[in-house]
Amino acid sequence: SSSSSSSPSLEQWEYPMVAHPKLDAKHNQLMTAGYMPSPLGGLIQYGVFTGDDSDAKKTPHKPFQFRMPGPLPPAIPFMHDMAITEHYTIFVDSSMEFAMPFGEGGTGPILKYNSARNFSFGVVPRFATSEKDIMWFHLDHPMVCNHIANAWEDPNDPDTIIFHAPVTYEAIDIFEHVGYWGKMTEFRLHLPTRTITKHQFDDASSISTEFPRVRDTLIGYPSRYAYTVRHGAQRTNISGLAKWDLYDRKLVAEIDFGPNESTVGLVGEPQFVPRRTPRADHHVDVGKAEKDEAEDEDDGYVLTTTMRPDHSTWLCIYDAKTFSSEPLACVRARERFPFGLHGAWRNLEDL
C-alpha cells in the first residue's frame, strides 16, 4: 500500500481504475481515479503517479477517497472518464447510474439514466489531499457526459477552466441503440464564483458525435482540434469522422463513409498520430491565446478502425490536416476488434 511519504506506484494501486486516466506529458504525471461500486454507494479514489523525471517528486501525493454529491445510496453514478488541466483534475458526476443490483441478477441493463439526478463537475487541485479540497459545480438539469475531449485553464483568466465534451440531455439506453450520442459543447467553470457558462458548438445540433480525442501531448493544455466519430442520418451506425475547432467552437470538416450504413459497419475511436515522433514532439505549446500558434497542431494522421458487416476489422489512416475523405491506407487486421475499443499510439522506442 502507498505511504504518506511518497506517491503511489502502479503496483501499489489497490483499487479499480477508470477507463481514461490522464497523462500530463509536460510534467510526466498520470492522474487517475478508481471506482468501487457497491450497494452502499461506492467510493472513488483519486491519485497521482509521477515519473522519475517529474518535478512532482518534490511533492509527494497520498491518494484519497470521496463520494459524488448526488443521491446515494442506492444510486451509484457512472464515471467513465475524467479531465485534467495543468493544475487541476476534473471529475464528472453524470446522470447515468449503475443499476442495482447489477443487471438485476444478470437479466437487466448494467446502466440506467436518472432524469432526477442533476449533473455536477468536481474540480480539485492536482495534489489535493482530501475530499474537502473538491470544488463542486452543479447544473440545474440532468446531463450525460461519457467521454471528454479536453480541458485547460484559460490563458486570459487562470481562474476559469475551459472544458469540451459531447453531451446529451435525453434518456438513453446504450445497449439498445447508439443514437444517444452527444452534441459538442463547451463549458466554462469560474472557480471563484462556482458558476458555469455553456456554449453548444455551431453545427453541433445536426451532428451526433462521440469518442473525442486530441493530440495526446496537449491533454490538459489549450488544443485547437479534436477528432470524433459521427452518426449517420439514421443515428444507427457511426457513418464517419468529424474534426472540430475547439477555439472557435465549430465543425471544421467531416469524413462521410457513405449513405449505405449496412455496408459501412461501425467506426472506432479516432487516434491522432503526430507526423513527428512523440520524443521530438514532447510538448507543443499552443496555449498563449494567439490562435496562430496552433498551425502545426494537426500535422499528422488520424487512425481509426472500421468493423464491417463481414466481421472483418480494418485500420484506416487519414491525413489529419486536410481531413480528406480518401484514406492514405487501409489495412485488414488479423483479428476482429470489438466495437468501442479505446486505443493509444506509442512508438516502439517508447515501449
Angular region, 32: left φ>0, alpha ψ -120 to 50, beta rest: beta
State the pLDDT at residue 35.
78
Q: Is the pLDDT of residue 14 over 80?
A: no
Residue 334 or residue 239, greater confidence: 334
Give the Cα separation of 123 and 125 in Å (integer): 7
Q: Is the pLDDT of residue 5 over 50?
A: no
- Grid cell 472500421 is found at 306
State the pLDDT at residue 83.
97
C-alpha cell of residue 115: 432524469
State the pLDDT at residue 319.
97
Determine the average pLDDT of the residues in 16-40: 83
User: What does the pLDDT look like over 133-175, one tens digit per residue?
Assistant: 999 999 999 899 989 999 999 999 999 999 999 998 765 555 4
Residue 291 or residue 215, greater confidence: 215
pLDDT band, residue 265 (cuts 50/70/90): low
Are residues 92 and 81 in contact, defined by beta-carbon separation less than 8 angstroms? yes
Q: Is the pLDDT of residue 30 over 70?
A: yes
Return contacts of 99-107, CB within 8 angstroms, 24+ apart: 100/39, 100/73, 100/74, 100/75, 100/76, 101/39, 102/37
Q: What ranges make up the beta strands (E) of 73-140? A: 76-77, 83-84, 88-93, 96-98, 111-113, 120-125, 135-138
State the pLDDT at residue 202.
80
Q: Residue 14 has what DSSP assignment?
A: -
Give the Cα separation of 259 and 197 in Å (integer): 36
User: What does the pLDDT look like over 189-204, one tens digit per residue?
Assistant: 999 999 999 999 987 6
- Burial of 238-268, coded b for 16+ CB within 10 Å and e otherwise, reads bbbbbbbbbbebebbeebebeeebeebbbbb
Give the Cα separation of 328 and 323 in Å (integer): 10
Task: Classify burial at 152, counting beta carbons within 10 Å of its beta carbon; exposed 0-12, middle 13-18, buried 19 or more.
Answer: buried
User: What does the pLDDT look like over 42-96, one tens digit per residue?
Assistant: 688 898 988 765 555 544 567 888 888 866 555 677 888 999 999 999 999 988 8
Q: Please choose, from the candidates 316, 22, 303, the residue with its C-alpha nearest in 3D space to the C-alpha of residue 147.
A: 22
State the pLDDT at residue 343.
80
Other CB atoms within a 10 A radius of the CB of residue 208 amount to 23
Q: Is the pLDDT of residue 109 over 90?
A: no
State the pLDDT at residue 66.
85
pLDDT band, residue 180 (cuts 50/70/90): low
State the pLDDT at residue 117.
86
Q: Is the pLDDT of residue 222 over 50?
A: yes
Residue 58 or residue 40, greater confidence: 40
Are residues 82 and 91 in contact, defined by beta-carbon separation less than 8 angstroms? yes
State the pLDDT at residue 58.
44
C-alpha cell of residue 74: 442506492
Q: Is the pLDDT of residue 299 over 50?
A: yes
Other CB atoms within a 10 A radius of the CB of residue 195 amount to 11
